[in-house]
Amino acid sequence: MPDIHVSAVSHSFGDGAARRTVLREVDLHLTEPRIGVVGANGSGKSTFVRLLNGLVRPDSGTVTVDGLDTVRDGREVRRRVGFCFTDPDAQIVMPTVGEDIAFGLRRRGLSRAEIAERTEGALTAYGLADHADHPAHLLSGGQKQLLALASVLVTEPDLLVLDEPTTLLDLRNADMVRRLVDRLPQQVVLVTHHLDLLRGFDRVLVFDHGRVVHDGGADDAVGAYRELATR
Ligand SMILES: Nc1ncnc2c1ncn2[C@@H]1O[C@H](COP(=O)(O)OP(=O)(O)O)[C@@H](O)[C@H]1O
Ligand SMILES: [Mg+2]
């Protein structure tokens, strides 16, 4: 499993009177296969997970993945860290399902045959085999989410970061994504409000106003989050 070190990270957005501190002195060493992130809206969850692939550069402190600094070694980090956004439309870049999956492979120096083979494999694995030439924007919400996941996973990241991947999905599609994530061999960092997704997770972080206020097993953390939410 990748070794994630978050050391003394603080981060703010905005300037002057509009300045807002979003992460405060976050220190974590994450090595577990399944890591959940929960907390109220605006507590800093997305900012935190965006640190992990350098989408957000910390104002102070450092973030490393397997010893690679997310700022200094950003390119190499992004090769290893796959990121899925809540809204798959933000991520689907190519007109057809097959092209979208192939897109992420193109910059990796693979041959045409290798790209075709891997794309084929991903289409089958994620239940999209019959949709290869289908316009991506015509897929259902659940299928789009699967496509976004497939397009990231086909690049074989060591760490997969998912920011509320089931928020836009109905129960059936959310369950499909849950089962898919369950089976992944990769390390996963998952932000969610769907607490049942975190069943069996090794470690769950509870964020509140930019700080990690609880860090423990899934049951304890979910309890702590519920208590925080009802205070
Ligand atoms: N790019 C940005 N520019 C300015 N403010 C931002 C930006 N991203 C997030 N914020 C603010 O930072 C706070 C935390 O946001 P976020 O990390 O997205 O929280 P969460 O994912 O827990 O809902 C929010 O108040 C949000 O408005
Ligand atoms: Mg968020």
Return the ligand 1 atom nearest residue 191 CA.
21
Tell me the pLDDT band of 173, cut-offs 50, 70 and 90: confident
Tell me the pLDDT band of 103, cut-offs 50, 70 and 90: very high
Centroid of ligand 1 to alpha carbon of 39 (angstroms): 13
Return the ligand 1 atom nearest residue 41 CA.
23
Which of 204, 183, 209, 179 has its CA nearest to residue 192? 204
Structure tokens at 115: 């790209």
State yes or no: pLDDT of 231 exceeds 90: no
Centroid of ligand 2 to alpha carbon of 83 (angstroms): 13
Q: Which domains does the chain have, with CATH numbers?
A: 4-230 (3.40.50.300)
- pLDDT value at position 20? 95
pLDDT digits (tens, 9 = 90+) for 40-89: 999 999 999 999 999 999 999 999 999 999 999 999 999 999 999 999 99
- pLDDT value at position 142? 85
